[in-house]
Amino acid sequence: MPSFRYGGKKGKKCSLTKSARHVIIRTEDRGKLDPNMLSKKAWKLLEKLELNFQLPGSGVEVHQVRAKRGIKKLCSQVRKTFKIQSDIEFAGRVLLDRKSKVPVIYTENLFVKFQQGQTQRSCKKLLKQYGLSIKRKVSYARNGYFVSGPKGCGQTVFTIAEMLLQEDAVELCHPELIRQTQHRNAFPEQWHLKITTIGQHRIRAHANIEKAWKTTEGEGITIAVIDDGFDLTHEEFSGDNKIVFPWDATRKIEDPRPGSNDNHGTPCAGVACANGHHGASGVAPKARLMPIRLDSGSGSQDEAEALIWAADHGADIISCSWGPGDADWRNTEDPKRKTEYLLPDSTRLALEYVTENGRQGKGCVVTWAAGNGNESVDKDGYASSERVMAIASCNDQSQRSVYSDFGKAVWCCFPSKDYASSARTRGIWTTDRSGAAGYNPGRSRLGDRLGSYTNRFGGTSSSCPGVAGIAALILSVNPKLTWREVKEVIKDSSDKIDQAKGKYDSSGHSEWYGYGRVNASQALKLAKQR
């Protein structure tokens, strides 16, 4: 079975298994598969498949056989038939994570990092010996390269990676392995900012944001939000210098506006730093927004380079409301609960770079959504990284949101949506894509503007940029703080909610709430004392 290692020669060996019911298809023009361009036979076969997921801009689609019988034969027919279609570059087998059975795409590309003492000439020579072509040199890791294997090498890329890793000159090497990115958004008003009355209920479960605004609103600080796309023309992101250094890490252009289904980034950015001039305020309304679109899947090289772009272009905080797939929070038997999602070396080194080199060496503060699977965040190498803060969700009654991930890595929590029958709010009120798209298409309650706001946003996707906004307030009053010191300020200023059930340990940590629900006003007091 194909296998790979993150962490070098002594890293954990992880094996993948071949799927009996999935087929991967890649188009020649890197666009979506067009059924009208297929032969009659291929078109009929396509009707027997169900789209599992796709990687926009790469022409890659993973399909699953609907039938319960004759699966092996049908998959073979699909591969043979689609391979000879003029518009199809590749049709082949799919690899799965052995525990979760989630598809993992290999790209015939590798991440390679040579030992420190190797010269550029010796690095290139060894790569050439293995038939590898340099796509680009990696800026954030010395002697790091993103390379491609021989065209059509297929699963041999795993063998090449393992052989190369055994070379004395090589420190790290693994194939580019991509999983479907899951935005950490739950189901579907500004009760998270201040005491608010909604319907008949007085909601007192906020993060003390409004009081903090008497001191600062995030002036002079830049928040990078890495997500699926952003409505750059939204009225709450208008103004001189509000949006800085926009980037699309997937398409490699300076235009991160959303694709047809990219609804997630706009509300995330709104929770962090919407202006608050028209209908929704972010936690840090006067902070600048650096919108970075990423639609390449978890584990891609683009993922690492999105982080690098943020640090190299002046981001103070980086907010990431996405990660590997969550389990079904209702289903305690979901196999995803048993899956450990390791952090690729390429992304791990990028996180080290942004926390060591960002902000002139003081390090970027990185917030990460803990996840919405009602499972252990400690199995998620992204959110549990020591370089980030894993943000959980609490509800409008100062208790844990039923879906929120838990564990030792949870740093703190922030108010968000809940599904509990006792919930009094529908979600977080924030910016939405304008017009017919978004979470709340149609007429806005604020007047004739269509789809500009939503009250249905939630999940740890909403909590994560909320804490990013608080980090912006902290750095606005004390920009000398390092990223570790910002984490400590948040830790020491958070409120211990739900003390009866929170099970806080002797260090003040709860696996549900971390060190508690963030308190912006108290955090600013501590920040000014540091």
Which residues have a catalytic role annotated?
Answer: 227, 264, 461
Can you tell me the distance from the alpha carbon of 426 to that of 458, in angstroms, rounded to the nearest whole number?
A: 9
Burial 396-414 (b: 16+ CB within 10 A, else e): bbbbbbbbbbbbebbbbbb
CA distances from 162 to 12, 155, 156, 376 (A): 12, 12, 10, 30
Can you tell me the distance from the alpha carbon of 371 to that of 350, in angstroms, rounded to the nearest whole number?
A: 21
Can you tell me the distance from the alpha carbon of 261 to that of 98, in angstroms, rounded to the nearest whole number?
A: 30
Strand partners, 16: 97
Residue 195, Cβ neighbours under 10 Å: how many? 12
Can you tell me the distance from the alpha carbon of 250 to that of 269, in angstroms, rounded to the nearest whole number?
A: 18
Give the angle 230-417-102 at the CA atoms, nearest 5°: 70
3-class state of residue 354 by DSSP: helix
CA distances from 63 to 52, 143, 273 (A): 5, 37, 38
3-class state of residue 279 by DSSP: coil
Can you tell me the distance from the alpha carbon of 443 to that of 456, in angstroms, rounded to the nearest whole number?
A: 15
Q: Which among 105, 155, 111, 106 is positioned nearest to 132, based on CA atoms? A: 111
Tokens of 423: 């919930």
Residue 197, Cβ neighbours under 10 Å: how many? 9
Residue 190, Cβ neighbours under 10 Å: how many? 19
Q: Which among 108, 228, 113, 107 is positioned nearest to 178, based on CA atoms? A: 107
**Quick one: CA dihedral 188, 192, 193, 195, positive or negative?**
positive
Tell the residue number behind the tokens 């190498």, with chain if given. 381
The pair phi, psi for residue 360, each rounded to 5°, is 55, 40
Question: Which are the contacts of 476, defined by CB distance < 8 A and separation ≥ 6?
Answer: 216, 217, 218, 219, 220, 221, 284, 287
Q: Are 373 and 336 in contact (CB under 8 A)?
A: yes
3-class state of residue 349 by DSSP: helix
